[in-house]
Amino acid sequence: MRVLVTGAKGQLGHDVVHLFENAGHLVLPCDRDSLDITDGAMCLERVQQFKPDAIIHCAAYTAVDQAETDVDAAYAVNAVGTRNMVLAAERVKAKFCYISTDYVFDGTNVSPYQEYDNTNPQSVYGKSKRAGEILVQSLSSTFFIVRTSWVYGLHGQNFVKTMLKLGQEKPILNVVNDQKGSPTYTVDLATFLLELIQTEKYGIYHASNTGECTWFEFAQAIFEEASVILRKHYMAQVEPCTTEEFPRPAQRPRYSVLDHMAIRTNGLQDLRFWREGLKDFLRELSKHH
C-alpha cells in the first residue's frame, strides 16, 4: 500500500513510519516542515501527487495546557487541519485514519468508555480533537477514528522519560493517584494501526494497552522495571498525591480507561497488557543509551 503519514516526526508518527516501511509499504512521511496541514491547497497538492491508498493522520496540536489560552491554534491544527486532510483523502479515494484521544470524554465514568458512548470533552484540547472527529465522520466515506491514551515512545517527551530523569535527581516525587487510565506504547499502537488500515472495518476504535493504573501506579511500575532492565539505581521515593495538589491549566479526565469493544467485535488483535509494553520500551531505551 501507499501510505501518507502526517506528524511523521512525532512520537507515534515516527514508529508508524518505521513499522509500515518494515512491513513493505511505500510510505510518504510528512511533518510540519514538509506539509502545513492548515493550508488546504497544499494538502490537496501533496496528496494528489502521492496518491496514497491510506492516510494516517498523526499530526495534532497536543500541548494540552497551552491550548487553554491558545484556542485558535489548537482548532486550526486539530479541526481545520484534519478537515483539509480528509478532503484531500476523499479526492484520491484514500482510507483515512484519525488518531484521537481519551480527552474527548469527561472522565466521570466508573467503568471503561466504549466507542459509542457520549463524548463530553472538558478541555480545549479535548474539544478541538472532538471537532476533528466530527469532521472526519461527516466528510470521509472510509474512515477509522482511533482513540488512545497516555502515549509514550522512544521519540519525544513523555511521562516515562520524565520519571526516569526526575528519579535520578529528586529524593521525593509526588505523582497523582486519583486519575486512572491505560498507558500506551507507541510501537503497540502502530502495530494495531498496521493491521487495521489493511481492512475495511471502518468506524471508531479504542486502542490502548490493556489493563489500567493510576499515574502513581504507573510511576511505581516504571521504577520497578527500570531498576531491573536499565540496571540503574533511582533514589526517588514516589508519593501519591491528589489532582488538587497538582493544579494544571487544563482539566484532565479523572477516569479514562477505554473499553476495546470495537477491536473485539471486529475480530482484530488486541493490544497487550500495559506493563509488557513498558518492559519492551525500557529494553529499547537501554539500546539507545
pLDDT at 25: 98
Average pLDDT for residues 96-112, to the nearest whole number? 97
Per the residue annotation, which of 75, 98, 103, 125 is the catalytic one?
125
Phi then psi for residue 68, to 5 deg, are -60, -30
pLDDT at 247: 87
178 inside domain:
no
Write down the mean pLDDT value for the chain: 97
User: What percentage of the chain exceeds 90 in pLDDT?
Assistant: 97
Alpha helices (H) along the chain: 11-22, 40-50, 64-67, 71-75, 82-91, 124-139, 159-166, 186-196, 215-229, 261-265, 274-287
pLDDT at 28: 98
pLDDT at 129: 98
Considering only CA atoms, which of 48, 46, 7, 1 is closest in space to residue 29? 7
Q: Is the confidence at residue 246, as pLDDT, over 90?
A: no
pLDDT at 234: 87
Please, which pLDDT band fits residue 74 given cuts at 50, 70 and 90? very high
221 inside domain:
no
User: Which conformational region is residue 96 in: left (phi greater than 0), alpha (psi within -120 to 50 degrees), or beta?
Assistant: beta
Here the CATH number for the domain that contains residue 72 is: 3.40.50.720
The 10s digit of each residue's pLDDT in 3-62 is 999 999 999 999 999 999 999 999 999 999 999 999 999 999 999 999 999 999 999 999
Provide the residue range defining the domain that includes 48.
2-158+183-211+256-273
63 inside domain:
yes
pTM higher than 0.75: yes
Q: Is the confidence at residue 67, as pLDDT, over 80?
A: yes
pLDDT at 15: 98
Quick one: how far is CA 202 from the chain centroid? 19
Q: Is the confidence at residue 119, as pLDDT, over 80?
A: yes
241 inside domain:
no
Q: Is 125 a catalytic residue?
A: yes
Please, which pLDDT band fits residue 200 given cuts at 50, 70 and 90? very high
71 inside domain:
yes
144 inside domain:
yes
Q: How far is CA 193 from CA 98, 144, 190, 213, in A?
A: 10, 10, 5, 24
246 inside domain:
no
The size of the chain, in residues, is: 289
Q: Which has the minimum average pLDDT: 98-102, 137-141, 185-189, 244-248?
A: 244-248
281 inside domain:
no
pLDDT at 120: 98
Number of domains in the chain: 1
